Chains A and B, each alone.
Chain A
Amino acid sequence: NAGVMQNPRHLVRRRGQEARLRCSPVKGHSHVYWYRQLPEEGLKFMVYLQKENIIDESGMPKERFSAEFPKEGPSILRIQQVVRGDSAAYFCASSSGSLNTEAFFGQGTRLTVV
């Protein structure tokens, strides 16, 4: 009875490296959402994906950030050439996409850029 699984839980990257964050949704869920959490700023919506499609990426920075949710495998949030300002907790959530349903959250990945 696995919920949303995110890995790694903690990720340390040097400036300029790439960060890859993975999210496996609740079994049977086809909708995935990524959020960034910074202290005092709450949860900022980044991107909403269905299998093989990006539905809404209005919260994604225009450069260096990308996300995918392939037909097989987990959803990936990729941050290229990380900078110190990318340090945050990144949460993934999933839902069935049905009307009137809640989102289920993973434990998050805490990214630290040194």
Chain B
Amino acid sequence: AQSVSQHNHHVILSEAASLELGCNYSYGGTVNLFWYVQYPGQHLQLLLKYFSGDPLVKGIKGFEAEFIKSKFSFNLRKPSVQWSDTAEYFCAVNAGASGTYKYIFGTGTRLKVLA
């Protein structure tokens, strides 16, 4: 069965600090990988996605993620965070051609950026 682990549950950073949120998944086949963001009181929005090709994926708002197949990881990064990045971040996996296409989410990481 697919599963997703997010190791950091709560992260507090000052503005302009660099961010890296860890995500590891468990699935032996081809996967699609996603990072979603949930701002307070809002629904989940897609930050970026990886299907194939270049393992370094760039998303919206300056976020990027790197797929490392050998480590089953898809860590999210941002060089310089802003106060407006305060939100909850979810990593998700969806099995590719061989799967049932359901999206499995990690437990989320709550990021608080101090102004």
Q: Which residues of A contact B (CB under 8 A)?
A: 4, 31, 33, 35, 40-43, 45, 48, 55-56, 91, 93, 95, 97, 99-100, 102-108
Contacts and interface: CB of A to CB of B under 8 A. Distances in A.
Contacts of B36: 105
Contacts of A48: 100-102
Contacts, number: 57
B32 interface: yes
Given A102-B34, A108-B43, A43 B102 contact: no
In order of increasing CB-CB distance, the 9 nearest A-B pairs are: A42-B107, A43-B105, A100-B51, A105-B44, A42-B108, A48-B102, A105-B43, A107-B43, A103-B103
A102 B97 contact: no
Interface in B44-78: 44-46, 49, 51-52
B102 A45 contact: yes
A43 B100 contact: no
B25 interface: no
A40 B44 contact: no
B43 A106 contact: yes
A102 B49 CA distance: 8
Contacts of A4: 43
A107 B42 contact: yes
Interface of A is mostly: strand
Interface in B5-53: 6, 9, 32, 34, 36, 42-46, 49, 51-52
Given A99-B97, A105-B45, A33 B32 contact: no
A33 B108 CA distance: 18
A43 B3 CA distance: 12
Contact of B104 (A45, A55, A102): A45
B100 A42 contact: no
A43 to B, nearest CB: 4
B44 A91 contact: yes
A78 B17 CA distance: 45
A36 B56 CA distance: 31
B52 to A, nearest CB: 8
A43 B90 contact: yes
